[in-house]
Structure 1
Amino acid sequence: MKHPIYINGFGSISALGHDQDGILKNYQTDSAHFSKLNFEKNTVLGAILPLSSSEEIENLSQENPRYKDLDKSVLMAMLTARKAISKLKFEPQSTGINIGSSRGATALFENYHKEFLEGKKLSPLTSPTTTLGNISSWVAQDLGVDGPNISHSITCSTALHAMLNAKAWLESDMCDLFLVGGSEAPLTEFTVAQMQALKLYSKLDTDFPCQSLKLDKLQNSLILGEGSATAVMSKSSEQALAQITGFGYATEQITHNISISSDAKCFQKSMKMALDEAQLSHVDAIVLHAPGTKKGDQAEVNAIQNTFDDFPLLTTNKWKLGHTFGASGMLNIEMALLMLETGEFFKNPFYKQAKTSKPIESVLVNAVGFGGNAVSILLEKPKL
């Protein structure tokens, strides 16, 4: 790595809340955060924002007349970006933004399309408020950032791909600071129906209906959640929450639109790349992508077994806060940051492994999306 790269700020909002103390407490408890969604044709589970977090979003939408017409995914990104950068000084021209989404302005787009089908006159704001570039652009408007702002979609690895982009901008000295992340508000009837059509959505009525990392599960158990997370990356160690010591990525050839190989070759390559850059052969823990599907969870574990001789602790958070599509990778980063901060390992209820008293000092974070694209980011306690 040309220069050490650090995470200097972080903000998130999800089913676990929006303040760091509350989020940490939720990680330290054995509870899942799902609610029933009563759609017109369907009742399913989803991970919605708690009331206090929804109120934060509503208050933000009322701050500025232009904000009231924005999609929830955009408002969540604005809120988490504010939180991430709130304690940092930045120069507008040398600060970049790359916040992506798998689906973008999901609810707003669907509402406008429904009005179109009903023959109603479309709002002039239909196009500008539903484009994917809407997310980073409005974050830039809100913060007064003049540097590059990028929105992209690389399905569920979107947020971690933003970290790859930020590394390139920082190491080229084209920016001093970069806000990266993902934002997703996918809890609409049509989006859930798409996951059901793939036969991925959970039908379980249990305390833990998303069986992420349960390797002997009998059925797929993915559950969608809404959330956004933003990190600030820079080459400065000031106020560093973690040092990013390894970046890895790979794309494998797929045989089906949603498949990866049974031993997740893309993850093997991305994890090895991150380990090689960090000059490590072992990490204390891995936060898996593990969406709660039978084949996906098993393939990722197989990849880890093929990559490590000294097996790390494995954990996930989707059993707790759902799959937030493009935001999921950055919410995995948050879990890793909290483990590094506390030294505590946050276990998964389904995956049994030997207890350890050794504090957590290095965490590998994985994400992969439709298309066989994987990213692995290696975080360590700051080397100041």
Structure 2
Amino acid sequence: MAGEVYEKKLLDRLSDAFIDAFARLADRVRPGWLRRNKSRVDEWKLMAYAFNRSPPGIIGAVLVVSFIVLGIVGPYLAPFSYDLQLTFFDPNAKRAPPGTVIQIKDGGLSEALGVKPGNYTLILGADDQGRDLLSRILYGARTSLVIAVLVMAVGPWIGILLGLVAGYYGGKVDEAIMRITDIFLAFPGLILAIAFSAVLPPRISDFLDAHPGVRDFFLKLFALKPQHAGAMASLISVVVALWIVWWPGYARLVRGMTLSERENVYVEAARALGVPTRQIMLRHILPNIMSPILVYLTLDFGSVILTEAGLSFLGLGAVPPIADWGRIIYDGSNYFPKDWWAVFYPGLAIFLVVLGFNLVGDTLRDVLDPKTRRSIEFRVKKGRGE
């Protein structure tokens, strides 16, 4: 008798191809990996089948992937640069409504704007400075994506490592780490982020001036022009501020799960065999508590984007002319509701991205729960192979 036969759809075949490609790559890097982890690869495929049967998860994945793609290629798709004032020469054309056609004649004007002469349609209208709103939203996707990735690549892992140490060692180590965590949790995270975002930019600016290589790296990362390097310090200050305030929740979560996991037999066996403590925490305990952490991380991506937009709206993140969704909403709020498009479209972008991460996180919660996943898999089964 063969194993279970699943009725595969297009998404199932795509996910199988992706997982198989990853497995082959891992096997080339570490020969024998695929043989040792065949059951794990099969489990990943079953998780993908369950995810593919969740309409909210698919919608969320489409929104998230679209955001990531636009964040990467958005600056190259933008019709104009984020700081190009197309309509500043005509006061009546400022805050041009969606569908406005801008005529740029040949001569000094087109050379000053850096564009070819002709008629240009502002699909989403313009902001109060006559800059194409569509272009600024596309550049803003890059800003939000980079900040979210930088924050989530560092901030949560500080809390995860501290939680592992506190939960595994216990005693005075646990007490010291948790009291520091309680101090940070005693203050609202947004208030702390505002405080750090307000005081860090001058120091970061001095650091960037002293390290031109780092400055150029961040200019390329955020897709900014060299003349706007001075305004970039405010963006990096938001990243550092969110690093500082984003770890306590993860420390609490991981500490509680580690306290439970350290009493299991496999941990006792590893200790008896003389496995180093660091290896026990990172290779044995952490993989077994990774499922809720992964869900938490996914949901927090949307929270980071929302918090960063809020800081920019308050004037503590992106500063003109850098394109950021929160800053675009702030600039357009002065003319709302008459010139509604300057608020509606960037607000819609934030809403869709945060919704996408929440839908993916909720679906992952079901997929990573064995009981829920098995019930979904049961509906996928077509029969048994003969």
Per the shorter chain, which TM-score range?
under 0.3
Q: Structure 2 length normalisation: TM-score?
A: 0.24
Instruction: Specify which structure has the higher proportion of helix.
Output: 2
